[in-house]
A and B are shown apart, each in its own frame.
Chain A
Amino acid sequence: MNGRGSLLLLTAPALVLMALFLIGPLLAVVALSFTDYQLGAPSLSFVGIANYLEMTEDETVRISLANTLIYVGVVVPVSVALGLGAALLIEADPSLRGFYRAAYFLPVMATLIAMAIVWEFMLDARFGAVNMALKAIGLGPFDFLHDRKLVLFTLCGIGVWQSVGFNMVLFMAGLTAVPRELYEAAAVDGAGRGIERFRLVTWPMLGPVTLFTVVITAIRAFQVFDTVQVLTGGGPNKASEVLLHTIYAEAFNFFRNGYAAALVVVFLLFIMALSAVRLFVLDRRESRS
């Protein structure tokens, strides 16, 4: 068998599966986005870029896109920074390492829908544990889930809470990969501890992990849906409307599948842009080394 033949043969199973389950549906969605298809409708017609034009004038889409970007803009830096901090603290002292690791990772494993209900209780304006704690230090009460100014940041908080553990695990894996001799060389050179050591060794060595963590967290944050669906339904008055929730509402509440498909295409462009950043930067790194 020649090289080309075996190449095709060996990649065929993966290619077929990808075409069937990934590229095919994706193309179908792109095709749908140029139609006025409604769920259950017997026919559909081609409407060109009408869906996309409508999007530009749709106030809900504008709000939900802005909210999503704010959400990503808050959750990514805060949860990456906290995850890194937690990883550094846990690695610095071996005592109770297992306990802290598990404690931070728990939110990642917990089902967010179930946890959202717990959060709802905790954040309740009158009986919630959070408000009680705030009251004890003379603050509040805040209606975290129904205050238009607060609700998005409340969701951000829950998003951070959920992502920190995952990011921490990624950073801990990255930290164990830092060669011990590099820390020792830093110690001999005079950067043995604290911020100097972090700047000279830890942070540069964590570069690839940090990039990966940022991109993964950003993609996950873009996909925020379950907390919104369970806790706020996008309200009050669209103050917590996010992209995925808008798509969901268009497709399954209003059955405007063509329009929803157009929103999905926009959503996918964001996700692909993020992945491209990662690919591009990693590629450049690798070609350099």
Chain B
Amino acid sequence: MLVETQARGAVRIGGLAKRFGATTVLDGVDLDIAAGEFVTILGPSGCGKSTLLRIVAGLEVESAGSVAIDGAPMKGLAPNARDIAMVFQSYALYPHLTVAENIAVPLRMRRLTPVQRLLGLAPRAVRESIAVDVQSVAAMLRIEGLLARKPAQLSGGQKQRVALARAMVRRPRVFLMDEPLSNLDAELRVHMRAEIAQLHRQLGATFLYVTHDQVEAMTMSDRVAVILGGRLQQVATPDALYRDPDTLAVAQFVGTPRINVLPGERLGLPAAQVAVRPERLRVHALGPSGSSHRLPPSRPSFPSPVCGGGGAVFRDGGGVTHDLVCAPPPSATTPTPPPRAGEGGPGTGKSPAIDGRLVHRENLGSDLFLHVDVPGVPALLIARADPAAGEGVSIGDTLSLTIDPRHALLFDANGRRIRP
């Protein structure tokens, strides 16, 4: 390849499927990863993301489809012939070898003949070249002081570094990482996140990183590939994934806390409006003065979220109603101050409000999340509030939730995004 020296490690995954007997684990996954890119495969446990990684590594054989690295098909190639390295969740260090010996294993396998390994003989030049490489990668990860130790004598974070060193030492084209941080405690995880991102910038190699933790995905990657139920849902930059998800499933999976889901109905006439179901739901819009205009309970409605105030967006033939889902994120769902507390929120405009009972409150310090049970809505709605402002409310109180339509997303009955 012409550009191979500059950009190594472009991965092309085409139509990849994996079945175990009758169970389909992966279903037609297409994913193109540019050389040097950091792509995170995000999904809940059991979604097939690890299987995808293991197929790229050659540890698992695909049922259909193909994997190519830098244009070369990988079919039938053993893991060590693919020029990849893998970091495992359990680190998978060889417990009987020292740190230095662990890091040296991939080099010994490549630079020594089987006979030399079997007899424990290595030419001095090779031995020195291995030692030099081990030393330099250890320096890079700041583990020079640990080289003589056994894995059992290391902390979780140190083991993680050794595993990274073993992966890095032979400079592979592609790094595959299977939930490498999930065995670390929270503080260390934040630290290693930054460190891995920095290593990626330093090495310039392709990183394919599997995790179920969306914070890891959002903070480290160039692009995130969301896999749900064995299907690739969306590949996008972290920001686009959060602000502009393609499906309700992605919207629900990405973002903490989870996005709110309100069953809705599209009203064909006259201006695009979204009604919230079921009809018993009490929804009222706050007027500019703070007075509450309760809508007739048979047809609670508020302006279509996507247009934020009445522009015609949905063109229905003859006023036919469709099922849809209105999904405001918690940050766009805020409790309305009780009317007697003062003059009310003048900025809330015509935002609709929903009444519900507070069942749980989560104070994260910077944010207060209120879990509100709204009769007729299957899941609890989560509203974000200022911790100071939320001090007055206690569990069991009735709250009015205001939804900012500009930030709510609309999905059709199949969970696909309805874009303006």
Contacts and interface: CB of A to CB of B under 8 A. Distances in A.
Interface of A: 179, 181-182, 184-185, 187-192, 195-196, 199-201, 204-205, 207, 288-289
Contacts of B88: 181, 184-185
A207 B96 CA distance: 10
Interface of B: 54, 57-59, 78-80, 84-86, 88-90, 92-96, 105-106, 109-110, 114, 117-118, 150, 152-153, 166
B109 A191 contact: yes
B89 to A, nearest CB: 7
Contact of A190 (B90, B94, B109, B150): B109
Nearest to A289: B152
B130 to A, nearest CB: 13
Contacts of A205: 95-96
Given A189-B166, A190-B109, A288-B152, A196 B86 contact: no
A interface: dominant SS: helix
Contacts of B96: 204-205, 207
A184 B86 contact: yes
Contacts of B114: 195-196
A182 B88 CA distance: 9
Given A188-B85, A190-B106, A200-B94, 16 more contacts: A179-B90, A181-B88, A181-B92, A185-B86, A185-B88, A187-B59, A187-B78, A188-B57, A188-B59, A188-B80, A189-B106, A192-B80, A199-B117, A201-B94, A204-B95, A289-B150
Given A189-B109, A190-B106, A184 B59 contact: yes
Given A188-B79, A189-B106, A190-B80, A181 B85 contact: no
Given A189-B109, A189-B166, A289-B152, A181 B80 contact: no
Nearest to B84: A188
A145 B152 CA distance: 52
B57 A181 contact: no
A196 B105 contact: no
A189 B117 CA distance: 14
Contacts of A199: 117-118
B116 to A, nearest CB: 12
A205 B92 CA distance: 12
Nearest to A286: B152
21 contacts: A179-B90, A179-B92, A182-B94, A184-B79, A185-B92, A188-B79, A188-B80, A189-B109, A190-B80, A190-B110, A191-B105, A192-B80, A196-B114, A199-B117, A199-B118, A200-B94, A204-B94, A204-B96, A207-B96, A289-B95, A289-B152
Given A181-B90, A289-B152, A189 B59 contact: no
B105 A189 contact: yes
Contacts of A200: 94, 105
B161 to A, nearest CB: 15
A285 to B, nearest CB: 10
Contacts of A187: 58-59, 78-80
A182 to B, nearest CB: 5
Contacts of B106: 188-190
A186 to B, nearest CB: 8
Contacts of A207: 96
Contacts of B84: 188
Given A189-B109, A190-B109, A192-B80, A184 B150 contact: no
Nearest to A193: B78
A196 B88 CA distance: 20
A179 B58 CA distance: 18
A179 B93 CA distance: 10
A288 B88 CA distance: 24
Nearest to A182: B92
Contacts of A192: 78-80
